[in-house]
Structure 1
Amino acid sequence: MLNYKLLLFVLVSMMIVSCKKGWIEIKSNKSLDVPNSVEDFQALLDNSSLINDSRPSLGEVSADNYYTPYTNWQSWSPYDKNAYVWAADIYNNSPTDNANWNNPYRNVFYSNIALEGLEEYELNRKGTTEWNNVKGSALYFRGEALFYVSQIYTRPYSSIAADYAGIPLRLTTAIAETSVRAGLQETYQQILRDLQGSLNYLPDVPVYKVRPSKPAAYALLSRLYLVMQDYPNALLYADSCLKKVDSILNYNTLSSTANYPVPGLNREVIFQATINDDLQGGLGVNCIVDSVLYKSYDNNDLRKTMFYKTGTSGQINFVGTYTGGTASSVNKAFGGIATDEVYLTRAECYARAGNVAAALSDLNKLMIARWRTGTFVPFTAADAGEALTIILRERRKETPFRGLRWLDLRRLNSEGANITLSRTLNGEKYTLPPNDPRYALPIPPDVINLSGIPQNDR
């Protein structure tokens, strides 16, 4: 019975998140057999093939971790092709975008169903372990989904610039509610409320790593504050995470001859998720790792052999995904949270605060597990600025193809990093200057047409 209920509910909800027309036409119907118990809501949020395997891919497609041959590029979806060259209009004749817009808002909708359902059907179980886990998970998934949409479809965060347009904040299941773009400040405040609220309910250790936990929420809050350039709070939450989960995987224990050397669900993984299938072209054998990135690894740095393989034609391909090749698509990129990222965030924040010793301690603790045994010489720095440069360089090398590079480009350029992206495709050169309006991708045409919300300026 539960499987039938969830299948019916998924079909209805997919209609709802696909377009505004669905929101208008589907009427509230109490006779519709939808989830109405803690167990139902937990099952809904445990649908990992939908909830966990749908992180937006356009940021990674647009970032500078790789390049692709023209023949391969020609086979991509229109919006992936155009995002790759930072075109002003990426959608052309593609009216909708399930991967980057609809799927995150589906997660928002599912979360709202659970949050409202707990209050309507299960208040008598409030405070139980099961009730708390659903409540915390729903808040986490909603905040996470809104965060990812904000990183694709809004200007980079600024606390001093004029308040830019944010994203629609769907906080209820009201099907006739009109979608409007909140301000950017309001968008970030809502994400903060959801993630901070989840901490009141989530467990320290989840039953499964596809479920959120307190360490995952701490880590995501740290990532959020990092993109807000609020480094004291990013430090606070990274530290809170590492006080609960601080495991590091020693790459000397891995086999570089394995197809995917880094195992999935390894000891560093705090929360398991993947980036949408649309990224398969970005990680496939026809897409080539940026040569500057690849050459930046020392030969004794095991990441050079654990993350990358040389293809039959000599091209360098990425195989270091933390999914371990065990996801439904082995080419899926890891889109979850792992301790290595949190260590690097804490190290960066220590450096920005002038605490060079603590910054390098975190960095060296991670790096000794990445280099061939007996070859690593601990990093040193004359001052905080030099420490920060080293840490940002290692962050670049530690976390490719996780969706983080786009976030880093946005925030670092807004601080004056002056990173210009460039690509050559079929003899034509394309560039993306720092702080260009194209760092906010266009909202899908069907959303604009059906809701009337303003489009991003490209």
Structure 2
Amino acid sequence: MLKYKLLLFVLVSMITVSCKKGWIEIKSNKSLDTPNTVEDFQALLDYTTNMNENRPSIGEVSADNYYVPYTSWQTWTPYNKSAYMWNADIYNNSTTDNVNWNYSYRQVFYSNIVLDGIDDVESIRKSTMEWNNVKGSALYFRGEAFFNVSQIYTRPYSLTFPDNAGIPLRLNADPNDKSVRASLKDTYQQIVQDLKGSLNYLPDVPVYKQRPSKPAAYALLSRIYLVMQDYPNALMYADSCLKKVDSILDYNTLKSTVNFPIPGLNKEVIFQATISDDLQGLLGVNCIVDSTLYKSYDNNDLRKTLFYKAGSPGQMNFIGTYTGGTASTTSKAFGGIATDEVYLTRAECYARTGNVAAAMSDLNKLMIARWKTGTFVPFTAAGATDALAIILRERRKETPFRGLRWLDLRRLNSEGDNITLTRTVNGQQYSLPPNDLRYALSIPPDVISLSGMTQNDR
């Protein structure tokens, strides 16, 4: 019964947000069961449809891991079709975007309901394990949502241009507060503040992997600092994560004959989340894996058969999701956090800070579990530059279709990697040069209309 009361509360709350009515009207309506206990707030955060599913997919749409036949592209939503071609205005035929904007801010809204109320619960329950988990989880979910939005709708992080436009930082559940864009500097400061704050409350081991934990917060902070090109901090937080969770799944124990060879919630998964299936076929026959990416795997590399299966002649489809095909729909790709990413982050940071031996040690520890038993020859590097190139190559091969490639393209191009993306749609070629303004996608029209905030430069 509590679950349904909470759903009713949230539904009415979301309608109230849309109608710009006061939050006080909800609080004073005695006919509604508003959350006011630790159990209530935990139930709100355990609503996985809103808190763990539907991570933004449009970054993956815009990245270069795949292409789609024209006939499949024609069936997509207008904004996905536009993002695939890197149009300046991806929303020219759409008024709103639930998947990439609204769902993330719904995650923020849920988190803010909790953060607005958790300090007011009965004092006897404060500082208990359950209270701490609620407080820490809400901070984690809000920081993660802000980060996800920032990677789509802002320019890549830059110390040179800290006053570039960031995102709206909604820090309470009051719908009457006007949404305004913070600076890029303030956006990242808030993200880091939320995630660091969560560390004061989260457990080392969550009851369920759908709940945040200290290792998840450490890992997400390492991802954030990597994007910020702050390699000492990215290294520190990756190391902190791996000191608590360092499991590696031996791919030799998996079967390539099943539909989804890598089991969901496996020993590498630290935090479970999925990318929206709005792409309509990310894990299916519609999306054809980039041939250059597929050919980069050695024949003894088990990822070549565990991540991909043959579709049409000469075409490969991706099946290597860490959801194991057990999500609510099998077309949902993994959008959470796993130890393989953290090992690669630590290895990259070791290379960037000059510790070549440690960098290659981390990489080889992971790679030996990816190659057929007895065939792996450890990677060696002539120096830090060589080590970095090898690690970045393996990072792309290890983490395709997780929403990470778009982040990597943004940060690597800002460092001078000069990666130009190209696609052909119905015989016409499209391209996205490095550091183009289109690496910050246009904000949905209804957001601009309702708030009056500035649109991204085109």
Q: TM-score band, normalised by the shorter chain? A: over 0.9
Unaligned runs of 5+ in 2: none
1:39 aligns with 2:3: no
1:279 deviates by 2.7
Alignment correspondent of 1:259 = 259
Q: Deviations over 1:292-333 (max 9, x none)?
A: 000000000000000000014442000000000000011111
Partners of 2:99 and 2:276 within 8 A in 1: yes
Q: Deviations over 1:397-450 (max 9, x none)?
A: 000000000000000000000000000010000000000000001111000000
Q: How far apart, in 2, do the equivalents of 1:11 and 1:46 lie? A: 16
Alignment correspondent of 1:333 = 333
**Partner secondary structure for residue 143 of structure 1:** helix
1:156 deviates by 0.2
1:28 deviates by 3.9
Q: Structure 2 length normalisation: TM-score?
A: 0.97
Q: How far apart, in 2, do the equivalents of 1:13 and 1:336 lie? A: 27
Alignment correspondent of 2:155 = 155
Q: How far apart, in 1, do the equivalents of 2:401 and 2:109 lie? A: 27
Partners of 2:307 and 2:320 within 8 A in 1: yes
Alignment correspondent of 1:60 = 60
**Partner secondary structure for residue 417 of structure 1:** coil
Alignment correspondent of 1:109 = 109
**Partner secondary structure for residue 282 of structure 1:** coil
1:34 deviates by 1.4
Q: How far apart, in 2, do the equivalents of 1:83 and 1:301 lie? A: 32
Q: Structure 1 length normalisation: TM-score?
A: 0.97
**Partner secondary structure for residue 281 of structure 1:** coil
Q: How far apart, in 1, do the equivalents of 2:426 and 2:221 lie? A: 41
The count of corresponding residues between Structure 1 and Structure 2 is 456
Alignment correspondent of 1:140 = 140
Q: What is the identity, as a one-letter code, of the residue corresponding to 1:404?
A: L
**Partner secondary structure for residue 243 of structure 1:** helix
Alignment correspondent of 1:208 = 208
Q: How far apart, in 1, do the equivalents of 2:286 and 2:383 lie? A: 42
Q: How far apart, in 1, do the equivalents of 2:180 and 2:43 lie? A: 30
Alignment correspondent of 1:195 = 195
Q: How far apart, in 2, do the equivalents of 1:64 and 1:283 lie? A: 15
Q: What is the identity, as a one-letter code, of the residue corresponding to 1:143?
A: G
Partners of 2:168 and 2:179 within 8 A in 1: yes
Q: What is the identity, as a one-letter code, of the residue corresponding to 1:129?
A: M
1:126 deviates by 1.1
Q: How far apart, in 2, do the equivalents of 1:25 and 1:94 lie? A: 29
Alignment correspondent of 1:8 = 8
Q: How far apart, in 2, do the equivalents of 1:354 and 1:339 lie? A: 22
Partners of 1:27 and 1:175 within 8 A in 2: no
Q: Deviations over 1:111-145 (max 9, x none)?
A: 11111111123443111000000000000000000
Alignment correspondent of 1:424 = 424
Q: What is the identity, as a one-letter code, of the residue corresponding to 2:161?
A: A
Q: How far apart, in 2, do the equivalents of 1:131 and 1:279 lie? A: 37
Q: How far apart, in 2, do the equivalents of 1:134 and 1:369 lie? A: 36
Partners of 1:26 and 1:175 within 8 A in 2: no
Q: What is the identity, as a one-letter code, of the residue corresponding to 2:315?
A: Q
Q: What is the identity, as a one-letter code, of the residue corresponding to 1:377?
A: V
Alignment correspondent of 1:70 = 70
Q: Deviations over 1:350-383 (max 9, x none)?
A: 0001100000000000000000001100000110
**Partner secondary structure for residue 36 of structure 1:** coil
User: Are the structure 2 counterparts of residues 123 and 102 from structure 1 closer, same or farther at C-alpha, using a change threshold of 3 Å?
Assistant: farther
Partners of 2:247 and 2:267 within 8 A in 1: yes
Alignment correspondent of 1:385 = 385
Partners of 2:222 and 2:235 within 8 A in 1: yes
Alignment correspondent of 2:295 = 295
Q: What is the identity, as a one-letter code, of the residue corresponding to 2:404?
A: L
Q: How far apart, in 2, do the equivalents of 1:368 and 1:268 lie? A: 15
Q: How far apart, in 1, do the equivalents of 2:72 and 2:419 lie? A: 26
Q: Percent identity?
A: 77
Partners of 2:348 and 2:391 within 8 A in 1: yes
**Partner secondary structure for residue 265 of structure 2:** coil
1:40 deviates by 0.6
Partners of 1:288 and 1:317 within 8 A in 2: yes
CA RMSD of aligned residues (A): 1.3
Q: How far apart, in 2, do the equivalents of 1:118 and 1:69 lie? A: 50
7-16 or 165-174: bigger deviation = 7-16
Alignment correspondent of 2:280 = 280
Partners of 2:165 and 2:183 within 8 A in 1: yes
1:162 deviates by 4.6
Q: What is the identity, as a one-letter code, of the residue corresponding to 2:27?
A: N
1:35 deviates by 1.2
1:368 aligns with 2:365: no
Q: How far apart, in 2, do the equivalents of 1:23 and 1:258 lie? A: 51
Q: What is the identity, as a one-letter code, of the residue corresponding to 2:291?
A: S
**Partner secondary structure for residue 283 of structure 1:** coil
Q: What is the identity, as a one-letter code, of the residue corresponding to 1:55?
A: R
Q: What is the identity, as a one-letter code, of the residue corresponding to 2:65?
A: N
Q: What is the identity, as a one-letter code, of the residue corresponding to 1:207?
A: V
**Partner secondary structure for residue 105 of structure 2:** helix
Alignment correspondent of 2:27 = 29
1:16 deviates by 4.9
Unaligned runs of 5+ in 1: none
**Partner secondary structure for residue 29 of structure 1:** helix
Alignment correspondent of 2:181 = 181
**Partner secondary structure for residue 270 of structure 2:** strand
Q: How far apart, in 1, do the equivalents of 2:21 and 2:330 lie? A: 35
Alignment correspondent of 1:130 = 130
1:259 deviates by 0.4
Q: How far apart, in 1, do the equivalents of 2:449 and 2:421 lie? A: 31
1:174 deviates by 1.5
Q: How far apart, in 2, do the equivalents of 1:202 and 1:338 lie? A: 17
Partners of 1:157 and 1:184 within 8 A in 2: yes
Q: Deviations over 1:222-271 (max 9, x none)?
A: 00000000000000000000000000000000001110000000000000
| Aligned pairs for 1:289-328 within 5 A | 289-328=289-328
313-322 or 206-215: bigger deviation = 313-322
27-36 or 179-188: bigger deviation = 27-36
Partners of 1:57 and 1:99 within 8 A in 2: yes
1:286 deviates by 1.7
Q: How far apart, in 1, do the equivalents of 2:421 and 2:200 lie? A: 41
Q: How far apart, in 2, do the equivalents of 1:175 and 1:300 lie? A: 55
Q: How far apart, in 2, do the equivalents of 1:53 and 1:241 lie? A: 23
| Aligned pairs for 1:81-96 within 5 A | 81-96=81-96
1:61 deviates by 0.5
Partners of 2:162 and 2:185 within 8 A in 1: no
